[in-house]
Amino acid sequence: MTDALEIAQKLIRCPSVTPEDAGAQVLLDNLLKDAGFTTQHLPFENVPNLFAKVGTGGKHLCFAGHTDVVPPGPEDLWTYGPFIPHIEGDILYGRGASDMKSNVAAFVVAGINFVKKHPDFGGSISYLITGDEEGPADFGTVKVLEWMKDHNHVPDVALVGEPTNPESLGDEVKIGRRGSLSGKLTVKGIQGHVGYPHLADNPVPRMVKMLDALNEYVFDDGNEFFAATNLEVTSVNVDNKADNVIPAEIQARFNIRFNSEWTGETLGTRVKNILNGVSEDYKLELTCGAESFLTQPGEWTELVRSAVSEITGRTPEYTTNGGTSDARFIKDYCPVVEFGLINKTVHQINENTRVSDIVMLTDIYERVLEKYFLNA
């Protein structure tokens, strides 16, 4: 049988900092072709994408993930180097070890092993692999999904292999994600000498009051599956290098992670109303990076959760926390859940994952396939 740990190490050796592929998808392409999958490279703009499928009828399950990684940061701070996979005891180190090359290796190997054992399983298994999840995400999963629809490859269900567990494999299955609304707030004044404030107009106090109003506002209390909406001020800048000058302008940025009580549009309207309660003399630019979504608990979510429980002995909680993922695009086509490795070290120096978890995750993904196609 194909070894997921070996594949994970090979993928880590590919310095595929988004949107570069550096051979990662070629490696997967060769592996899947040898196992009988039909593969298709789907580059859009400068983004590499890979689609692979086996089977032509019956139920269709799609595994989705990405081979791109975030930049490694100062490479001299890495103990073994970001693109030099290293195993120390039960720990595999390397950029992408957790997010998400080991997860990709696990679900690819699970599919290959399943097809070898059950060549007449009577359904279809596909892989949607993008090189743009860590980037703008404009020419990755969203474009491949459009291609899949045009070529009659829309799946019945999907499983995204993002690292979802905070401490132990089996903690959580994600059935949704919060939305993300970013704001750039600008308040203008009149520059002047601090000794003659009557000749100037200081925008800083107005900005402070506006940010305080946003920060103190309680948007909601959350609901059954989502935590309360939260706003975080991420930067404040006056670009003023003098202590005796009243600035002419101040800018602030904030981000709101919101739940299913809001849409980007309704939340943006509420933000403007809050600010208008302080002052109407400002400029606000809002960008909705993602809407919130929820896959209602049902047959698919329970199947994944039961597979996780059978392998790990733990009953995972349904959650929607964390950042955004490409599941936000897939949910428009079919029910989607997310399950993968531990996320404690994602995007960090010395990113790592447990070798034993890679083995167990491969078993979980194969168990999902058995339950979905064989009712086993």
Q: Select from 64, 59, 63 the least CA-distant residue to 156.
A: 59
Among 21, 99, 133, 249, which one carries the catalytic annotation? 133
Domain span including residue 239: 179-290
What contacts 181, CB < 8 A, 6 or more positions away?
A: 255, 256, 258, 264, 267, 268, 271, 286, 287, 288, 289
CATH number of the CATH domain containing 278: 3.30.70.360
Please give the Cα distance from 368 to 152 (Å, whole number).
23
Edge-to-edge strand list for the sheet holding 91-93: 86-88, 91-93, 352-354
239 and 258 together in one domain: yes
pLDDT digit string, tens, across residues 275-287: 999 999 999 999 9
Specify whether 68 is catalytic. yes
- Nearest to 305, CA basis, from 172, 202, 166: 172
**Shared domain check, 136 and 55:** yes
The structure tokens listed for 163 are 């690292």
Q: Both 39 and 159 in a single domain? A: yes
Number of H helices, E strands in the chain: 9, 19
Closest to 286 in 3D by CA, of 231, 245, 327: 231
Q: What's the pLDDT score for residue 1?
A: 54
| pLDDT at site 98 | 98
70-111 pLDDT, tens digit per residue, is 999 999 999 999 999 999 999 999 999 999 999 999 999 999
* Options 21, 68, 132, 366, the catalytic residue: 68
Q: Are residues 278 and 340 in the same domain?
A: no
Both 80 and 217 in one domain: the answer is no
Residues of the chain with pLDDT under 50: none
Kindly state whether residues 208 and 319 are assigned to the same domain.
no
* Residue that finishes a domain, picked among 290, 323, 344: 290
132 catalytic? Reply is no
Assessment of whether the complete model's pTM goes beyond 0.85: yes
